[in-house]
Amino acid sequence: MVEDQEEEKDQTTGPSKGADLRNDIEITFEESFLGVRKQINIMRDAVCDVCHGSGARPGTKVDTCTVCGGTGQVRQIQSTLFGQMQTSRTCTACGGKGKIIREVCEKCKGKGKVKKQTRISVTIPAGIDDSQTVVLRNEGAPGTNGGPNGDLYIVVHIKHHPLYVRSDVNVLCDIPVTMTQAALGAELKIPMVDGTEETYRIPEGTQTGTKFRIRQKGFTSINGRYKGDFIFTIVVQTPKRLSKEQRDLMEKLAKTMNEQPPVRKKGIFG
């Protein structure tokens, strides 16, 4: 049973951090490999440049709320049979702002903030993977009552590449070769992600599906401590059309070879 109650002013309303924001960007496979600096546009709250965040029309006065004493909160103390109980609630007189604005700013309508497009530079580190995030501290929404700005979370999306695939910190790639290159062996020019070329000799008799590894030519780990490898898979291409001269040569070659490949017989268990 409540015997009596009274309202007292709360101590103070402290500063509050601004909201965190998110922005998604898309980069190329090469940009994720090398790292890149991007300029992005974001919409976020900014302090009104007319009232400078007060919310009041310039030249007018902002009054401190007399109900909460400028804290935005009031403390309610109730005396019960079990002792005193204390609760806090938002001041209804000022809506929790702690101030009474008699004439509001025409630009921000009394909010003290306006939506503004801002251009920001962000550095995407080499080695970043798809859906990873870059955090820009204090680039989010502005805080209230002198509080710090929120943070901006940049979520990175990487475009599909027609040649390369990423696997952890390794780069995977298919390299086509001719039948003669595979049979005789060949010195290949392998295109790297950074635009350079690596010379690699494959041995004679190389089969389709054979993998070769070029060390430390993959992605840099996001912490920069190690590098992955470049792994390419040989794909032997069979010509679809032959000239008469080429066909004659192939037929001569066929006569010198056992054209029937060995058949591996399967047992009961495969």
What would the pLDDT profile of 179-194 be if each residue is shown by its tens digit? 999 999 999 999 999 9
Q: Specify if 174 maps to a domain.
A: yes
Quick check: 101 pLDDT over 70?
A: yes
In the block, residue with structure tokens 């399967």: 266
Quick check: 13 pLDDT over 80?
A: no
Q: Are residues 209 and 143 in the same domain?
A: no
Quick check: 156 pLDDT over 90?
A: yes
Q: Are residues 28 and 120 in the same domain?
A: yes
Q: Are residues 250 and 145 in the same domain?
A: no
Q: Are residues 170 and 190 in the same domain?
A: yes
Q: Are residues 34 and 141 in the same domain?
A: yes
Instruction: Report the CATH number at residue 121.
Output: 2.60.260.20
In total, how many domains does the chain have? 2
Q: Are residues 31 and 155 in the same domain?
A: yes
Q: Specify if 84 maps to a domain.
A: no
Domain limits for position 239: 164-255
Mean pLDDT, rounded, of the chain: 86
Q: Specify if 3 maps to a domain.
A: no
pTM recorded for the entire structure: 0.73
Q: Are residues 194 and 230 in the same domain?
A: yes
**Contact indicator for 227, 218 with CB cutoff of 8 Å:** yes
Kindly state the average pLDDT of the residues 31-39: 97
Of 144, 160, 176, the one marking the end of a domain is 160
Q: Are residues 126 and 246 in the same domain?
A: no
**Contact indicator for 70, 9 with CB cutoff of 8 Å:** no
Beta strands in 48-159 (DSSP E): 62-64, 73-80, 83-90, 99-101, 113-124, 133-136, 152-158
Quick check: 1 pLDDT over 60?
A: no
Confidence of residue 256 (pLDDT cuts 50, 70, 90): confident
Q: Are residues 170 and 150 in the same domain?
A: no
Quick check: 267 pLDDT over 60?
A: no
Angle at 258 between CA 252 and CA 260, to 5 degrees: 115
Q: Taking the CB of residue 193, how many other CB atoms lie within 10 A of it?
A: 20
The C-alpha atoms of residue 10 and residue 71 are separated, in whole angstroms, by 7
The C-alpha atoms of residue 13 and residue 72 are separated, in whole angstroms, by 7
Q: Are residues 168 and 156 in the same domain?
A: no
Give pLDDT, residue 240: 85
Residue 79, strand partner residues = 4, 84
Q: Are residues 146 and 119 in the same domain?
A: yes
Q: Are residues 238 and 179 in the same domain?
A: yes
Kindly state the average pLDDT of the residues 110-114: 85
Q: Specify if 73 maps to a domain.
A: no
